[in-house]
Structure 1
Amino acid sequence: MLDHSLTSNHAVIILASGLSQRLGQVKQLLSKEGEALIRVMLKLVVTTQPQDIIVIIPDHHQAITDAVADLAIQYPIIRMVVNPQPETGMAHSLYLGIEALGDVNVPVERVLIMGIDQIRLDELHLAALLAGKQPVVASGYHSWAHTDKRYLDDDALVNSSAKTIAGLPLVIDEGLLKQWQSALTGDKGLRQFIRALPASQISTVTNIQLSYDIDTPEQLAYAQQKGWLD
């Protein structure tokens, strides 16, 4: 169980409008323990007791819409925002999510931002992010290939001195997020702004399991072999 005394008044933005072109099938509908991945991640963030959950989905994908709509009946805090131009990149999805924050009836202090394909994400990690006090609390991990040498996309990626990635999921002060909104374009997400912050304003929660995301058929096959996905 999460200790909700450690969490702040927060909303969630789930970036789930990607077209999964490298994967070759709809990532949002991959199956984990018999349920669509997008539904698994939505149920996971519900456990953090947010004020609002905004999930950005692609246009013209009825099966994704149906999967979320069914869950939103059960959890009315879930709201869908359709990205009519998912091919423009993650930054536009995030822009739409920030825009939707303005419709939240209860003011929020912080925003949890995440994708849906870090298949080993769990409640404990989300709790640790939300317990952080800095303006930005990011997740720390390596590339997939660096993490597990039994799986190699590219031998060059296996580097014992590989730097830790500071990325999603992350928690950010709502005011800071809105300040950066207008500069979000294409694939340029938050990383450039986070890197420019003083070190005192950022903390990282390391979780090597977050290295395992799903972008290619090979990564999917590996995750299925491990039993992480059906």
Structure 2
Amino acid sequence: VICGGADEVHHSVTMVFDIIRAASQDNDHPQQTPRPFDRNRDGVVCGGGAGILVIESLDSALARGARIYAEITGFGHASDPGHIANPSMTAMAGVMKDALKEAGLRPDEVDYVNAHATGTEQGDLAEAKAIGTIVAPSVPVSSLKGHMGHTLGASGALESILVLEMMQRGEILPTLHLNQIDPGCGAINIIKDLTPGPASTVIKNNFALGGVNVALVYQKWSET
């Protein structure tokens, strides 16, 4: 199966984020925003791009001699449309818990959490608290939105590709533009610098407007 997503920046989309007061207003300092998990974050910066992955059964991949980067071993999803822009911490925690359960993993077996965090005040806070109920405080957490903005329909695929690259390199990308961690998000290990680490077992979060919540568990492929 070839799957992924693509999206382009269009003024009508950015207007929607403005209308719901979710867009960053720091237009004078574009090099400093978005700032996921930062105490001075002020919203989303939309980006554009495309990401495509090939997903197939293990038997199929082995039969054709494909290079296998990782396995998707767990999946959790939930819909909680209580508020279009302010997500539910309980729903976020629930999908991560479900993904780990399907993968047959304990929380202490997670090496890294790739957060959805877009730079909104309530969204980042809720996700940080949700992550804190699932994994140990020492587990590295980062968001990639500071690197490329929120690419909307492409974000899940693009960020997954970067997660797979982190697995191969044994390095975890930091949260860009993170100067001062919001004290409300400080119970988890949000990394600010490139961090050596195995990243062999990863929770990947994606949470959309309107309470659409998804978490995947990626595990680095090994023949042994």
Same fold (TM over 0.5): no
Higher relative contact order (CA 8 A, sep 6+): 2
More helix by percentage: 1
TM-score by length of 1: 0.31
